[in-house]
Amino acid sequence: MTKMKVLFDTDPGVDDAMALLLLARHPRIALLGVTTVFGNASLDQVVFNALYLKDQYGFSAPVARGAGLPLVVAPGEPPAFVHGDNGLGDIPLPVRNVARADMIPAHQLIIKLVRAHPHEITIIAVGRMTNLAQALAEDPGIAPLVKQVVIMGGAFGYNGHCGNVTAVAEANIIGDPHAANLVLAADWPVAMVGLDVTMETVMSDQYLSDLATTGDDGTFVRKVSHGYQDFHRKTINLDGFPVHDSSAVAYALHPEFFETIDRPVRVIDHGDSIGQTLAKPEGHDAESCDWAGRPKIRVCRGVDSEAVLNLYRQTLTGRGV
């Protein structure tokens, strides 16, 4: 079986931890690197969490420390009300981890892995895109050497889903809109798995209870996501929680689960609408418009939610394909 070589850029984060588990357990994934970025918790905390997950899940890929601040905008407070004070739903964490962070910074690990495996690396980015933007700035030549970039981020209003931080902005984009703009303008194939589809796939309380009976991985998912589930019940009256970061992994493995449209995309980087992702309207073909020179991005606008939920459950129970 040819494995998909994956670099995972992440801010663990409850749903990041769940996506990393999917990557660690799926038989078709070769996880080559994990790069961390500030977001769901401080940089120190997300590095600690990624190393904890490395010990917990038993993967061998290096974990690198990445950006602690956005490129231009002021950093926001970490969303402890969503992911807990420690970013992992306030489950008890050890005082120290066995695993150690890689010697080189995240953006350089990205460059190193892409250069070592030209045209083979799939980057799955589920946090602020600051590390990717820094890698592009240091070595712009990597872009055409990347097989694909799959992003969890953005929202285009499909299925009625717009922002989750403001009315129009999703967290990973508004957290560093300038970095997102650079990533969406670069010469690499990008797929965006935004709120339009991640909000459509929900792990219900029943799904999570059933998963918890399947073994240690399912029990861990149940444990780490308690507070996260509570947050979604209290704020949007959901039975369970939406599947954000694992949907990006699902797309990388099974793009056929998703319905897509190809449009150039830009990010509003100032003013009231900061963080909004805008796809060039269909039929608007003027050369001198705001999307001029931007490549087409594959935007997900529909999803087979059952298929995504089955993939997650089957992978954790050793039946993933």
> What are the residues binding ligand BDR (CB under 6 A)?
13, 15-16, 40, 126-127, 152, 164, 170-172, 244-245
| Shortest Cβ 271–Ca ion spacing (Å) | 25
CB of 145 to ligand BDR, least distance (A): 25
Gap between the Cα atoms of 297 and 261, Å rounded: 8
Specify burial of residue 270 (Cβ count, 10 A radius: 0-12, 13-18, 19+). exposed
- Report in angstroms how near the CB of residue 191 gets to Ca ion at its nearest: 16
Strands 241-242 and 202-203: antiparallel
Binding status of residue 16 toward Ca ion by CB under 5 A: yes
Is residue 78 a contact residue for Ca ion (CB under 5 A)? no
Q: Select the residue whose beta carbon is closest to ligand BDR and give its number.
A: 171
Give the Cα separation of 46 and 280 in Å (integer): 34
Applying CB under 5 A, among 13, 33, 87, 240 the residue interacting with Ca ion is: 13
* Token pair recorded at residue 284: 């608007």
Residue 196 site contact among Ca ion, ligand BDR, none (CB < 5 to 8 Å, cut-off depends on kind): none
Comparing CB distances to Ca ion, the nearer of 11 and 200 is: 11
Share in percent of the chain as helix, strand, coil (round to 5):
40, 15, 40
170 contact choice in Ca ion, ligand BDR, none (CB below 5 to 8 Å, kind-dependent): ligand BDR
Stretch that binds Ca ion, among 13-21, 45-53, 268-276, 309-317 (CB under 5 A): 13-21
Cβ distance to ligand BDR smaller for residue 62 or 175: 175
164 binds, among Ca ion, ligand BDR, none (CB under 5 to 8 A by kind): ligand BDR
Give whichever of 68 and 295 is closer to Ca ion, judged by the CB atom.
Answer: 68
Q: Which is nearer to ligand BDR, 40 or 315 (CB)?
A: 40
Please, what's the b/e burial string for 175-189 (b: 16 or more CB within 10 A of its CB; e: otherwise)?
bbbbbbbbbbbbebb
Q: State which of positions 112-171 bind Ca ion (CB under 5 A).
A: 126-127
Binding characters for Ca ion, 242-261, by CB under 5 A (x = yes):
---x----------------
Minimum distance between the CB of residue 267 and ligand BDR, rounded to whole angstroms?
14
Closest by CA to 174, choosing from 267, 257, 297, is: 267
Compute the distance between CA of residue 229 and CA of residue 240 in angstroms, rounded to an integer. 5
Q: Cα separations (Å) of 11 from 36, 109, 321?
A: 6, 16, 26
The entry of ligand BDR, Ca ion, none that residue 171 binds, CB within 5 to 8 Å by partner kind: ligand BDR
What is the dihedral sign for C-alpha 5, 126, 212, 84? positive
Active site residues: 11, 244
Residue 100 burial (C-beta neighbours within 10 Å; 0-12, 13-18, 19+): exposed
Shortest distance, position 252 Cβ to Ca ion, whole Å: 15
Beta strands in the chain (DSSP E): 4-10, 29-36, 63-64, 121-125, 148-152, 190-193, 202-203, 241-242, 258-267, 277-279, 296-303
- Report the alpha-carbon distance of residue 67 to residue 38 in Å, rounded: 6
Q: In angstroms, what is the minimal distance from the CB of 255 to ligand BDR?
A: 19
# chain residues binding Ca ion, by CB under 5 A: 6
Q: Which is nearer to ligand BDR, 26 or 83 (CB)?
A: 83
Binding stretches for Ca ion (CB under 5 A)? 11, 13, 16, 126-127, 245
